[in-house]
Structures are given as structure tokens and as C-alpha cells.
Structure 1
Amino acid sequence: MSQTHLSEQSIFDNIKQALSQAPRNQYTAELHLQMIKYADELKTITAKEFCEGVGLRNSFGTEFSKMRNLTARLKAAGLNTEQL
């Protein structure tokens, strides 16, 4: 199924699952990757809503904002987030 057809809750569930399967020393890297992967689908939500949806401390909201901004630059350089 294409990412663009997933509901917000499905995306949150996918991110939670990916984080739960990440090795402890790769948790933050996996979180950043998931934020980039779903940045376009989550462009209308706030960082606070993202943290609440995924079950993260609000302090991760800054990371969400950074990754969303970084995604635009990565895509301009050729990144296809559908392949993440």
C-alpha cells in the first residue's frame, strides 16, 4: 500500500512498530528516518500532535520539525521517501 493512502493513525502505528523493533542504540536514527519517511503525509499536523500520536515526549517535537524541514532538501536532492 502506498504511504499516501495511509491514515494518520496508521502512520503513527507504523512508526511505533518501527521504533519498538529498533535496536536501543539505533532508536533516534530510526525515529529520524520515520519522520522523514512520513513528512509529506504529516505536513498538516503540529509537532505536538506528532508526539502525542506516536507516544513520545513533547521534547521530540523539535526533532520532528527539523526532520520535516530537512525532508524538503533531501527530496530536492533526489531522495524518494517511498523507498524508505
Structure 2
Amino acid sequence: MNEQAIFDNIKQALNDAPRNQFTAEMHLQMIKYADQLKSITAKEFCQGVGLKDSFGTEFSKMRNLTNRLKAAGLQTDLL
């Protein structure tokens, strides 16, 4: 899946999320696609998904957390 398709999937998931679940859904999507988005910057992620640049910190945190979750057995392809 190419970056634009991933961005589109994330945008759709965020649009479909209940208002009080937006942040949780955003974090889940960041973890889900962390491996496919290893080569992009946090700023590029925010621009691609249409988020404020301030969410770049969250993207970096989730990408780092994904490695630990996978080491503990999480299969991100099942999310």
C-alpha cells in the first residue's frame, strides 16, 4: 500500500471515529501503520493526514512505542 492510500485510510478512520474517541483512534492508526511509514517525518505524516503539525510529537511517540508493543507480541497487521 502506498503512502497516499495509507493517509486516506487514516483520514477515513479519524472521520468515522466518535468525537470522544478521536485521539485514541489517531494513536491506533499511527501504531497500525508505523512500519509502512518508517521513512517519513512526523511533519510529513501530519501534512499527509491533514493534522496540525503539533500532532507530529504523537506520531513520533507512537512509532517508538510500536517497537516495544511488537516485541511484546502485538501483531500490527491485525489492527
- Work out whether the TM-score is over 0.5: yes
The alpha-carbon deviation at position 74 of structure 1 amounts to 0.1
TM-score w.r.t. the length of structure 2 is 1.00
Structure 1 stretches lacking a partner, 5+ long: 1-5
Map Cα deviations across residues 34-57 of structure 1 (whole Å, 9 max, x no partner): 000000000000000000000000
For 1:11-66, what per-residue CA distance to the aligned partner results, in whole angstroms no more than 9, with x for missing partners?
00000000000000000000000000000000000000000000000000000000
Counterpart pick for 1:24 among 10, 19, 23? 19
Residues paired across the two proteins, number: 79
Q: TM-score, normalised by structure 1?
A: 0.94
Moved over 2 A (4+): none
> Secondary structure, in 3 states, of the residue corresponding to 1:42?
coil
Aligned to 1:3: none
The aligned runs of 1:58-73 (5 Å cut-off) are 58-73=53-68
The CA RMSD measured in Å over matched residues stands at 0.2
